[in-house]
Chain A
Amino acid sequence: DFQMTQSPSSLSASVGDRVTITCRASQGISNNLAWYQQKPGMVPKLLIYAASTLQSGVPSRFSGSGSGTDFTLTISSLQPEDVATYYCQKHNGGPKTFGQGTKVEIK
């Protein structure tokens, strides 16, 4: 069974902090990884795809990196509007498995 494992499952940080979320694939997926943001009561929003390509309209404080099995989403300076749950997803062939999510809160 293919799995995407995110860590941590939740975090609390101060406004202006640098925040990092990791995602590990159980098998190599090259750079076929996306990150989504889901704010409470809202539908998911695509932030990054192909591991590091910023989707149009997404603030530049969001960035992604990684390849193979290990990936990272970084928020360079956390803002109040970034409170959300973040999901990684493999987007290569076959099942488009999501990670279990990382909930980001403001301290």
Chain B
Amino acid sequence: EMQLLESGGGLVQPGGSLRLSCAASGFTFSNYAMSWVRQAPEKGLEWVSIISRGGDVTFYADSVKGRFTISRDNSKNTLYLQMNSLRAEDTAVYYCAKALLVGTVPSPFDYWGQGTLVTVSS
């Protein structure tokens, strides 16, 4: 059974850092691009970042560019999001999501984790 399990969320002060992880199982992780999507409380979905299956291609939303870094370790079937210089507006549930199509970054997302809550507040 396919599974994505996010961890690493929590309460952090403005200006602080957090690293989110997403442990994948039930599929060949290294074959698929992976993405982070966030959802602020009572708000819509906001795409954050995507990484190619090999980790050599990344894209970021303008709202996080220069502050967040996406990475992956295919030997550990794990996706990461390093978040620095956090702001109150980064408060959200962060979901990791798997690309539907094998081997390509241009792809919708067919499987989502349950999410991890990040709260940025003093």
Most chain A beta-carbon contacts within 10 A, residue among B61, B95, B110, B113: B110
**B109 is an interface residue with CB less than 8 A from chain A:** yes
Q: How large is the interface on B (under 10, 10 to 19, 20 to 34, 35 or more residues)?
A: 20 to 34
Check B44 against A46 for contact (C-beta < 8 Å). Answer: no
Contact of A55 among B60, B110, B114 (CB under 8 A): B110
Interface of A is mostly: loop
In chain B, what residue has the closest Cβ to A2? B62
CB within 8 Å of B: which residues of A?
1, 32, 34, 36, 38, 43-44, 46, 49, 55, 85, 87, 89, 91-101
Please report B residues at the A interface, Cβ cutoff 8 Å.
Answer: 35, 37, 44-47, 50, 59-62, 95, 100, 105-110, 112-115
* Known A34-B108, A89-B108, A91-B106: A100·B44 in contact at CB below 8 Å: yes
Asked if A43 meets B44 with Cβ closer than 8 Å, knowing A91-B106, A91-B107, A93-B105, the reply is no
Query: In the bound complex, do residue A95 and residue B61 qualify as a contact, i.e. CB atoms below 8 Å apart?
Result: yes
30 A-B pairs, CB-CB below 8 angstroms? A34-B108, A34-B109, A43-B113, A44-B37, A44-B45, A44-B95, A44-B109, A46-B100, A46-B110, A49-B100, A55-B100, A55-B110, A87-B44, A89-B45, A89-B108, A91-B106, A91-B107, A91-B108, A92-B106, A95-B47, A95-B60, A95-B61, A95-B62, A96-B35, A96-B47, A97-B47, A98-B37, A98-B45, A98-B46, A99-B44
